[in-house]
Structure 1
Amino acid sequence: MAETTLHIAGRHYDIRCRDGEEAHLAHLASLIEEKARAAQQGMPGMTEVRSLLFAALFLADELNDMRRDTAARQQSLALETDDELAAQAIEALADRIEKLRDGLAARAADA
């Protein structure tokens, strides 16, 4: 286990993590710090707890937007895939109809 210190909203937090995760956690802490700072700038004099609350709300809002956008993209891709499959099925049916027509025309010519 590794130990690292995160700096968020003017405080230092010593935490344990898996070896090699220190840089990733420092990056995540910097994202939280950025949002906490934005909250402080928007409402000066805010308590540490309140600035962390707003940081969490800002991050949750961004996550929610990303999830919604991802779901919309997935739905769009699914519709495109459905359209492609339908087009392929129609094309296969058209080929089969043409073969049946050709077979019937050949029978009619032989008769």
Structure 2
Amino acid sequence: MATVTVEVNGRPYAIGCADGQEDRVVALARQFDQHVREVAGSVGHVGDLRLFLMAALLLADELHDARAALGIVGREPESPADPDAGLAEVLNAVAARIEKIAAGL
């Protein structure tokens, strides 16, 4: 397992990921950071946990809309070769990190 350091809302976070997925995790973190910064610009400073939650909900909404457009809303990944399977792994890692952050508050 590899570890990469990403920056979200001006703060560094060490994130574990599968070997070879480092560039993907960094790119996803940049996308997430953009959403966090948009939320922060709209609502002001409400704490990282709430900013992260709001940004995650925006991303979940975008994912839902994309799946709806493709006609796959509510469908589980069919196999490990399914592109959503890798995304699920990354989202699980992010969720675990958010839970650690929340536990430390």
Superposition TM-score tier, normalisation by shorter sequence: 0.5 to 0.7
Residues 52-107 of structure 1: CA deviation (Å, up to 9, x unaligned): 011001101101100111118xxxxxxxxxxxxxxxxxxxxxxxxxxxxxxxxxxx
Q: 1 or 2 for the larger relative contact order (CA 8 Å, sep ≥6)? A: 2
Match of 1:2 in 2: 2
Structure-2 separation of matches of 1:9 and 1:22: 19
Structure-2 separation of matches of 1:59 and 1:50: 14
Q: Percent identity?
A: 36
Runs (5+) with no aligned partner, structure 2: 73-105
Q: Secondary structure at the match of 1:4?
A: strand
Larger Cα-atom Rg = 1
Structure-1 separation of matches of 2:45 and 2:32: 18
Which structure: greater helix fraction?
A: 1
Structure-1 separation of matches of 2:23 and 2:44: 30
TM-score by length of 2: 0.62
Q: Secondary structure at the match of 1:33?
A: helix
Q: Give the letter for the 2:6 counterpart.
A: L
TM-score by length of 1: 0.59
Q: CA RMSD in A?
A: 1.5
Match of 1:71 in 2: 71
Number of aligned residue pairs? 72
Structure-2 separation of matches of 1:67 and 1:2: 30
